[in-house]
Amino acid sequence: MDNNEYRLPGGSAEALLAAGAAEILQCPAGTAFHQLREWHAARPGWLFGHLAYDLKNETEKLTSSHIDGIGFPDLCFFRPRYLLRLGAGKLTIEAGDLTAQEAQQIFNACLQERPAGSQLALTNAAPLQARMNREHYLHSVNALREHIRKGECYEVNFCREQFLETGLTDPQQLFHRLNHLSPAPFAAYYKLHHRYLVCSSPERFLQKKGSRIISQPIKGTAKRAADPAQDAALQQALRSSAKEQSENVMIVDLVRNDLSRTAVQGSVRVEELFGIYTFPQVHHMISTVSATLDEQRFHFTDAIRHAFPMGSMTGAPKVRVMELIEQYEKTRRGLFSGAVGYITPEGDFDFNVVIRSILYNGEQKYISFQTGSAITFYSDAEKEFEECGLKAKALVAALGL
C-alpha cells in the first residue's frame, strides 16, 4: 500500500508491505464479520486483506447472481510473515522472531530491486470487451432516472465492466505502470493466490485511530486540462456545481447515518464539506465525516459492518439502490467497490475504496475493470457515459490499449 506522498485529512502510512501468510481467514458472506472479530481477538496482530462488495448479502437481505470473472472471496485477511512500514524517513521491518542480521538482509534485498520495465506483455492481443454496450448503458441510466422520479431513491451509483480474455506476464509491472500514470493516496497491489488487484484509488472508505473514525466519500468529478488556466476553470466549475454538491451532500448524509449507528451520541460531525482535491487524471469533490466510536457498546468490526458497503458506491437509500444495482448492472462487483486495507494489533484500521482498479485472474486469464458514476434525476446519460470513460483513461493506458 502506497500513499504516494499525498497529504489528505486523517493522514495515512507512507507505505506498507505485508508479505507471506502465516495464517489466513477466508469466508463467504453470512458470518464473515463475526469470524473476523473472533479471529483478531484470538491473537491480536497485524491483519491485511479485503472486504468484497457482496458482503452486502450479510449486512442486508440481498443476493448476487451476475457473472464474476475474477472470483475473490467475500472476505479474506492474513497475518503477514513479513511487515515493512515506511514513514518519517524510517523503515521498520517485522517478522516474528526476526534477527537484526535477517532484517538487514531484507533491507539489502530491497535496495537491490530495480524499477520495472516500461513494456507490459499481454499473452495475446485480445480485444477489449464490455458486458454492457453504450446503448444499453444509456437505456439503463434513463430507467434509473425513472425510479428516482417515482421517489424510490435519490441517487444510484451505476457501473459497467470492461474486460480482456487474455493473460498478463507480470501483474506487478502493471501496478508500477498504473501507479506512475495515476499516483493516488490509497494505491495498492494485492495478490491472493492466482488473483490480483492493481489499484490506484483516491478514496478512503473508513479509518479508525483510537476511538476516532473518519470516512471520506468522493462524489463529484471533473476532467483535467493541460492548460493551467483552463484546468483552474474546470476546478472552479466543479467547486460551484449545484449538481455535484447535491450528489455529494446526499452521500455525506448517508455516511453520517451509517457512522451514527456505532458512535457516541452527538459525536458525528462533517469536518469538511465539498473539499476539492486534484489528481493526475481528474479533480474530485471530497468530504470528511468523523465520529467517536462508542467502545462500551460496539466492537471495531461493528463500525465497519454498519458502514459497509460505502455509500459513495451505492447511493441512497442504501438497500433500495443496491437492489437496483443488482437489477441493472450485468457483472457481479466482487472486490470492485469493496475495500482493501489493514487492522492493527490495537484494533485500529484503514481501508480504501476499490475503484480505479484492474483485477486479474491468472488461472482464468481474465482481466477486468469497472467504472461508474452517480445517477440522479438531473443526470444526462451521455455525460455519465463520458465520466465512466474519463475514470477508465489511466486503466486503459496502463494496459497499453
Catalytic residue ranges: 203, 219
Residue 122 has a pLDDT of 86
Residue numbers in the chain where pLDDT is lower than 70: 116-119
Residue with cell 497499453: 400
Whole-prediction pTM: 0.95
pLDDT in tens, 16-43: 999 999 999 999 999 999 999 999 999 9
Residue 119 has a pLDDT of 67
Residue 12 has a pLDDT of 75
Q: Could you tell me which of 74, 87, 81, 123 has the C-alpha nearest to residue 106?
A: 81
Q: Could you tell me which of 148, 166, 165, 149 has the C-alpha nearest to residue 157?
A: 148
pLDDT in tens, 46-92: 999 999 999 999 999 999 999 999 999 999 999 999 999 998 888 99
